[in-house]
Structure 1
Amino acid sequence: MGKVTTGAGVLVKSLKSHGIDTVFALPGAQLDPLFDAFYAERKSLRVIHTRHEQGAAYMALGYAQSTGQEAVCAVVPGPGVLNAGAGLLTAYSNGAKVLCLGGQIPSHAIDKGVGLLHEMYDQKGTMAATTKWQTRIGNPEEAPAVIEEAFRQMNIGRQRPVFVEMAPDIMATEIELDVADPNQDYEVMQPDPDLIEQAAALLGNAENPAIFVGGGIFGAEQELLELAEMLQAPVFMSAAGRGAVDDRHDLAQNMIGAAHQWPKVDAALAVGTKFLPPIFRWGWDDDVKLVRVDPDPDQSIDKWQPDVHLVAHGKPSLAGLANRVSRHNRSRQSRKEEWRDLKHAADRELAETLPGLYAYGDALRAELPEDGIVCFGVTQMGFYSWFGFPTYHPRTNLQAGIQGTLGYSFPTALGAQVANPDKKVVCVTGDGGFMFASNELSTAIRHGINLVTIVFNNGAFGNVKSNQIEDYGGRLIGWDLANPDFVKYAESFGAIGLRATTPEELRTALRKAFSVSRPVVIDVPFEELVDWRPLQHAYRMRGGI
């Protein structure tokens, strides 16, 4: 038998056996045995305690988004689990591998309605809305197998977060148990060879093929570029897919370019993306053939079923297509100049529509190392980044995705900085979003997370104000904010506070921020209200659907 430990000790050893060396957590009564187990493993397991469960979940998300690896957060039951919900829902939408460990009330009272601290009826069932898989560890002996299955669930099919709960009495139960090395040979979903042949023929015979990618593309970047070059097909990257192809490559295009090119496309390959702009904005007709690659068989909308749906992971699917397209591919000349012109046209449109934000984006790009990571919040600068901000490497442009929640960028960027201590990481946020989670400056100081944060400060929920001006005749309500002095606010935590009022001053501030080993907040007053929505080209270009 093994050394005497507790259920929580077995749980922690199981996490370590899967390579986990960091946990983002917030302590509380039902997690006391777990934190005691963390203490026992403190030499090889870093516990970053946060100021809010939202912060713990988002930090785990940032760790996962920036690395593609699994990340762990731990929170108390009931309100703690619900507080983590926004981060988990965002992880779910972005396909991030986050394991949330939830506490519980004592096992004899679960779902009995007896009125214990943090009690919530059907907590595990509630988490089905924000996680892919949920379970409870019912006795200490189950912990290794449950954690092994949790990691398997995060890695098979569509990658998404999972939830495991454990009652404090089960955590505290003593046990003698050795934790064996887990099986980490996860199934990769392979494409149907016959469907690969059909898709290869469809794409190879197309005159104007195009490739659309989202966050599900990562891990298949090499295969993507090989296929794109064979087809001379532009790669249109959604916000979530930025960096799949280096933006300096002629085939790397943004979604403004996609709107310009869409009327000409006769075959589209969609990989790891919801493919929403063509479906809901630009129109569709029978002249467009669609090949979809996604491990989720339910990803397609009934009305727009693909001609070929490869229910498989991206890497083997794109490798298979590259192997078979050569049998069908028409003779293709280089279209480098055409794609370069398309890129320049999209860039001009962006610069003319959002000149102020474009200039600040250029300033940030000029100072950030090419492998630096930026986490963009849901702010006007964040909307600019959906189309602009050149991105050179995978997983270096982090976005909230379809949840679009304020409060995402700052704690998520902290998690990315923890996961990438040797890289420069920058949070770009608005003043509204920053104040959702700015209490985590305390976490940054306490744990030495030397993140650089840029706060674009207009004293408003800027997008709300802009929409009310554009769409509701200037009837303004609920938009104005009372903010602290962000320089002094940062300094009050022990961080460095700076202010920049022009793009040139931002470059100077960034150089200083990157030269110090402390968290830095840069306040950027930005009064200009912009309407970024024309960049979506939200009108029908073809078809009547």
Structure 2
Amino acid sequence: MPHAPSAGAPAATTTAEATVASLIAHGIDTLYAVPGVHNDPLFDALWHAQDRIRTVHTRHEQGAAYMALGAALATGRPQTFAVVPGPGMLNTSAALLTAYSMGAPVLGLIGQIPEAEIGRRCGQLHEIGDQAGILARLVDFSAQVSGPEEASRLMAEAFRAMRSGRPGPAALEIPMDVWTRERAFAASPPLPSDQPAIDEDSLRDAAKRLGEAKNPVIFVGGGAHDATDEVAALSAMLQAPVVSGFRRGRGVLSSRDPLSCPMPVGHALWKEADVVLAVGTRLFFQCRDWGVDDDLAIIHVNADPDEAARHGAPAVALVGDAAPILRALIDRVPAHNRARPSRRAEMEERHARFHEAIAKLEPQISFLKAIRDVLPDDGILVDEVTQVGFAARLAFPVYRPRTFLTPGYQDNLGWGFATALGVKDAVGSRPVISINGDGGFMYTANELATAMRHKIPLVAVVFADGAFGNVRRIQERQYGNRLIACDLANPDFVKFAESFGAAGERARTADELRGALERGLARTDGPTIVEVPVGPMPSPWQWIFLPKVRGV
């Protein structure tokens, strides 16, 4: 019989209890999960902690991981999911890969077979060869837990890793027989994140280049979302347009600011620029497609020390969190800054020309206008890999950071609906709209059951053309109309929604969509699905794959 702990000594704690306590200590109030026999003790520990941490159970593991991803993207804070090993873990791999590519702090708690059986290939339930090796290729930090003290320590290390440098996902494996191991130990407290010191020589060089530049331009990506005030101040100081990337930088500078530019406007500015300040972006399209030459100096601000040189050495590389680096530049640029007249009239003219050209994207533009009309400034639009989504990345006005969410460079079809459920679950009363094609929506449409069970009032629009529209158009135009594997058999999406007890509406015009969205956003007790039947839509790609303009 174990001895009772002496006064002041820590009580014996199981690995499951230590895991839940550590989640709570690190600010986690919700766990997205699918239960299973490998993790039963974890869920019993969660039952005992229901007053401090919610468990949102989904109908598929990919739904749990995507919900955690959506919550992380919307809040900028770490979020967590739990699943069984083998097929359960593999079902979350697309979400983990997307979290890695987008720098999203998502922690996966992954079950394992009994500790002594790992690697023996004995045929244990859900056994998979080298699960740890698979996870290590999807996340920034991974480890296997061997007991309660390890759970506490490794959890602290995982959260520090997710917050240090470029944010990203982490995973902890816990064998099924380890959950119930019990020991007395002192819990590991949360650890401070690691941030590199800012290089003063590089700061001075960057400030001088920016201040002396004739045509400076700022390009922003997902790494700039927590530096919005600094980007706005530097943009005003330099009268430098701020160009958002194709996917991630929308809302860093409000679309109401004339200096805020979508990517196609930035294409012309790239040709004219002598100095580019790249903040939290890879500059993938710009360096790969638009071209560089000796007359363009690029200053990279990125949390990843390896990112700046991927497309050639920059003029200056500043490594670290964007906000303090930009604040340091704001302090130093005035000593070098030339007199700069307002560019408002010029930029308004550039915007007008762009909007006149892109107005040809109908009905996409009208549908997006209807969405923007009903979505408040702090409302969130979750994009999908769909024709209306592509147009949104070019032309949807965005006024605040983290209010326009796309799947990053993975651009994985089917991420949107389940991710948007996580977004809505995390942000509470703030309105959230998910836009989907009929192809992508059906990837996680089963999570309507989750939305109903947990009363998540997401509004999801399904633009239904009966096809993988992008695939079909490519086959029509590039392959002699030899159509294969592109047409879809769909349910009646209104009846589909109603069969779950959700609200279902059908809208055929932009005005009808506006009304359906208003009614859906007014609901508080469950989701709304709005089906929008559409035909083939005009291609947006001429505004996305833009030609080379430098180094020709």
Where on the TM-score scale, by shorter chain, does this alignment land: which range? over 0.9
Aligned-partner SS, 2:424: helix
Alpha carbons 2:287, 2:311 under 8 Å: kept: no
Pairing of 1:346-365 with structure 2 (within 5 A): 346-352=354-360, 354-365=361-372
Residue of structure 2 in register with 1:139 after alignment: 147
Q: Distance in 2 between matches of 1:177 and 1:543?
A: 62
Aligned residue pairs, count: 542
Superposition deviation, residue 476 in structure 1: 1.2
Question: Are 1:190 and 1:317, in contact at CA under 8 Å, matched by a contact in 2?
Answer: no
Q: 1:291 aligns with which of 279, 299, 303?
A: 299
Measured in 2, the distance between the counterparts of 1:164 and 1:537 equals: 39
Determine which of 426, 436, 441 is the counterpart of 1:434: 441
Residue 388, structure 1, aligned to residue 395, structure 2: yes
2:44 is matched with which residue: 29, 36, 45?
A: 36
1:247-282 CA distances to partner (integer Å, 9 max, x unpaired)?
101111100110122221111011111102221211
1:415 to 422, 426, 450: 422
Query: What's the counterpart of residue 269 of structure 1?
Result: 277
The residue type equivalent to 1:288 in the other structure is L
Superposed CA offset, 1:118-151 (max 9, x none): 0112211111221011101112221111100000
Give the equivalent residue in structure 1 for 2:178. Answer: 170
For the pair 1:74 / 2:74, whether they are aligned, the reply is no
Match of 1:323 among 308, 331, 345: 331
- Mapping of residues 91-106 of structure 1, within 5 Å: 91-106=99-114
Distance across 1 between alignment mates of 2:352 and 2:136: 45
3-state SS, counterpart of residue 316 of structure 1: helix
Distance 2:53 2:512 in 1: 40
For residues 278-330 of structure 1, the C-alpha deviation after alignment (integer angstroms, 9 at most, x for no partner) is 21211221111100011212113455210101122211111111111111111
**Whole-Å separation in 2 of the counterparts to 1:2 and 1:468:** 66
Alignment correspondent of 1:231? 238
Task: Show CA shifts across 1:139-195 (max 9, x none).
Answer: 222111110000000000110000101111110123344536x23432333320110
* 1:190–1:313 contact (8 Å) kept in structure 2: no
Matched position secondary structure for 2:294:
coil
Corresponding residue number in structure 2 for 1:367: 374
Select the residue among 385, 391, 409 that pairs with 1:378: 385
Unaligned runs of 5+ in 2: 1-8
Q: Which residue of 2 aligns with 1:115?
A: 123
SS in 2 for 1:171: coil
Contact kept in structure 2, 1:374 and 1:427, CA below 8 Å = yes
Give 1:145-544 correspondences, 5 Å limit: 145-177=153-185, 179=187, 182-238=189-245, 239-352=247-360, 354-517=361-524, 518-544=526-552
Q: Deviations 1:474-503 (Å, cap 9, x if unpaired)?
A: 221110000000000000111000000000
Paired with 1:367 and 1:521, the residues of 2 have a C-alpha distance of 16
Is the partner of 1:169 in helix, strand or coil? coil
Please give the alpha-carbon distance, in whole angstroms, between the structure 1 residues aligned to 2:48 and 2:311.
Answer: 55
Judge conservation of contact 2:157–2:191 (CA < 8 Å) in 1: no
Q: Distance in 2 between matches of 1:94 and 1:82?
A: 19
Q: Secondary structure at the match of 2:133?
A: helix
Task: Report what 1:17 is aligned to.
Answer: 25
Q: Which one-letter code corresponds to 1:364 in the other structure? A: I
Letter of the 1:157 counterpart = G
Distance 1:473 1:232 in 2: 48
Identity %: 44
The 1:303/1:103 distance shift into structure 2, 3 A limit, reads closer
Deviates more, 1:437-446 or 1:257-266: 257-266
Amino acid at match of 2:295: D
Maintained 8 Å contact 1:8/1:172? yes
Q: Any conservation in 1 of the 2:267–2:546 contact (CA below 8 Å)?
A: no
Q: Secondary structure at the match of 2:442?
A: helix
SS in 2 for 1:240: coil
Query: Are 1:26 and 2:34 counterparts?
Result: yes
Question: Quick one: distance in 2 between partners of 1:310 and 1:471?
Answer: 43
Instruction: Return the offset for 1:245.
Output: 0.8
Question: What is the rounded CA distance, in whole Å, between the counterparts of 1:122 and 1:305 in structure 2?
Answer: 37
Q: 1:189 to 1:458 in 2, by over 3 A?
A: same
Deviations 1:430-481 (A, max 9, x none): 1000000000000000011110000010010011111112222222111000
Alpha-carbon distance in 2 for matches of 1:338, 1:537:
25
Q: TM-score, normalised by structure 1?
A: 0.97
Q: For structure 1, which runs of at least 5 residues remain unmatched after alignment?
A: none
- CA displacement at 1:197 relative to structure 2: 0.5
Length-normalised TM-score, structure 2: 0.96
Aligned-partner SS, 1:441: helix
SS at match of 1:121: coil
Counterpart residue identity of residue 36, structure 2: G
Is the contact made by 2:99 and 2:106 (CA closer than 8 Å) also made in structure 1?
yes
Alignment correspondent of 2:61: 53
Partners of 2:385 and 2:440 within 8 A in 1: yes
